[in-house]
């Protein structure tokens, strides 16, 4: 079977052929200008990572990297069947929903003395034990417990085969972000986020790329963030950032697709429309990054070190913070292990 296009090339390939999702030039420029105004703020640095996720252990702690691996291996499909029935986890007086329920649950388990960041433990954890770790504080459980269990135990076994920690596993790729992504998708099946579009094998690699970006965030905070090829990473194509890109005018859906999503139709993983939403999101952020770097070079006469991962680290919390203003824009619903 032919190797799939990498995510950036996949995004371009999809955007050039897309029938229901369109990258909007004026919106790309607008978002680039918005980010240009923030270019000196912490929001557009890797150190913004810890600020975006206060539930992560201190980057200097021994558990930080394994915590990242555990969370990113189960980082998929948090949207509720009904908005009124969300899984919730309360930790230290704050109630979390969505992705943050997973972070809160893992950090809560660590405080309870459960060795959830130890591959020896999580490679063999039972479904019941994981269900206890991920327990909700209301009647709505976290979706896809069996799939999360399979992904976590499988990932744990891979770490045990490669030195027994995420650090020892990922070090096989040297300090090259691209090689890290390739290693992850080669060795861990649940990270193989691929599809066929217009007869071509493509890849989106949302979780593999975010795992590398989170690794970089931790290492950067430790003063060891000299990872090459970070610019090779794209944004992490999920269901929240596309909503922000539509809101900001960098993407546009056809009337038909917009109505389909408003009607609440479930899109299967690999559905043409689902691939177009994710692929065009990747390509629009690539164009935003290129435009932003051009502005920095033209106006400041400086080189631009903002990459697509940093733009994603900004857009994802932005979407969460502006969710009320964006409520009229539907997110797409796909129940799968890739995002």
pLDDT in tens, 17-37: 999 999 999 999 999 999 999
Residue 123 lies in a domain: yes
pLDDT attached to residue 49: 58
Residue 268 lies in a domain: yes
Q: What is the mean pLDDT of residues 232-247?
A: 97
pLDDT attached to residue 221: 86
**Ranges 139-148, 238-247, 305-314: which has the least confidence:** 305-314
pLDDT tier at 219, thresholds 50, 70, 90: very high
Instruction: Specify whether 43 is catalytic.
Output: no
Left if phi > 0, otherwise alpha if psi is -120 to 50, otherwise beta: which for 194? beta
> Cβ neighbours of residue 259 under 8 Å, at least 6 residues apart?
none
Give tens-digit pLDDT for 94-121: 999 999 999 999 999 999 999 999 999 9
Q: What is the mean pLDDT of residues 122-150?
A: 97
DSSP string, 287-301: HHHHHHHHHHHHHH-
Residue 332 lies in a domain: no
pLDDT attached to residue 220: 87
What does the block give as tokens for 40? 């000196």
Residue 134 lies in a domain: yes
Residue 334 lies in a domain: no
What does the block give as tokens for 318? 């932005």
Q: Which of these is catalytic: 238, 263, 300, 305?
A: 238
> Cβ neighbours of residue 226 under 8 Å, at least 6 residues apart?
175
pLDDT attached to residue 52: 63
pLDDT attached to residue 78: 96
pLDDT attached to residue 131: 98
Residue 328 lies in a domain: no
pLDDT tier at 50, thresholds 50, 70, 90: low
- Nearest to residue 163, comparing CAs of 185, 179, 187? 187
Torsional sign, CA 122, 100, 143, 158: negative
Q: What is the mean pLDDT of residues 249-277?
A: 98
* pTM listed for this prediction: 0.95
State how far the Cα of 9 lies from the Cα of 5, in Å rounded to an integer: 6
- Cβ atoms of 196 and 50 within 8 Å: the answer is no
pLDDT attached to residue 84: 83
Residue 179 lies in a domain: yes
Domain that holds residue 139: 7-322
DSSP string, 213-268: HHHHHHHHHTT----BTGGG------SSHHHHHHHTTSEEE-HHHHHHHHTTPBPP
pLDDT at 281 over 70: yes
pLDDT at 150 over 60: yes
What does the block give as tokens for 165? 């920690």
- Nearest to residue 89, comparing CAs of 61, 115, 109, 119? 109
Q: What is the CA 225 to chain-centroid distance, rounded? A: 19
Question: How much helix, strand and coil, in percent to the nearest 5, is found in the chain?
Answer: 55, 5, 40
Residue 13 lies in a domain: yes
Q: How many domains does the chain have?
A: 1
**Ranges 49-53, 99-103, 141-145: which has the least confidence:** 49-53
pLDDT tier at 185, thresholds 50, 70, 90: very high
């Amino acid at each position: 079977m032919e190797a799939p296009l990498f995510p950036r090339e996949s995004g371009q390939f999809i955007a050039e052929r897309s029938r229901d999702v369109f990258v909007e030039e004026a919106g790309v420029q607008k978002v680039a200008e918005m980010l240009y105004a923030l270019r000196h703020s912490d929001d557009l640095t890797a150190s913004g990572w810890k600020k975006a996720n206060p539930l992560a252990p201190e980057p200097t702690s021994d558990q930080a990297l394994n915590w990242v691996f555990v969370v990113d291996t189960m980082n998929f499909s948090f949207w509720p069947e009904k908005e009124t029935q969300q899984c919730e986890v309360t930790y230290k007086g704050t109630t979390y929903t969505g992705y943050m329920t997973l972070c809160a649950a893992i950090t809560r388990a660590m405080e309870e003395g459960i060795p959830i960041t130890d591959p020896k433990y999580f490679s063999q954890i039972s479904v019941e034990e994981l269900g206890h770790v991920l327990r909700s504080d209301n009647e709505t459980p976290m979706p896809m417990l069996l799939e999360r269990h399979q992904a976590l135990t499988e990932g744990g076994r891979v770490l045990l085969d490669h030195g027994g920690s995420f650090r020892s596993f990922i070090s096989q790729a040297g300090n090259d972000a691209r090689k890290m992504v390739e290693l992850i998708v080669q060795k861990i099946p649940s990270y193989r986020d691929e599809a066929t579009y217009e007869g071509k094998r493509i890849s989106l690699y949302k979780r593999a790329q975010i795992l590398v970006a989170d690794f970089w965030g931790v290492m950067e905070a430790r003063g060891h963030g000299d990872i090459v090829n970070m610019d090779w990473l794209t944004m992490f194509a999920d269901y929240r950032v596309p909503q922000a890109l539509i809101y900001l005018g960098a993407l546009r859906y056809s009337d038909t697709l917009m109505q389909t999503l408003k009607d609440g139709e479930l899109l299967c993983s690999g559905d043409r429309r689902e691939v177009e939403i994710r692929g065009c999101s990747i390509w629009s952020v690539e164009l935003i990054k290129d435009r932003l770097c051009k502005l920095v070079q033209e106006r400041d006469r400086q080189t631009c070190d903002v990459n697509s991962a940093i733009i994603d680290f900004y857009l994802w919390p932005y979407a969460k913070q502006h969710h009320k203003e964006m409520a009229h824009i539907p997110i797409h619903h796909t129940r799968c292990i890739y995002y």
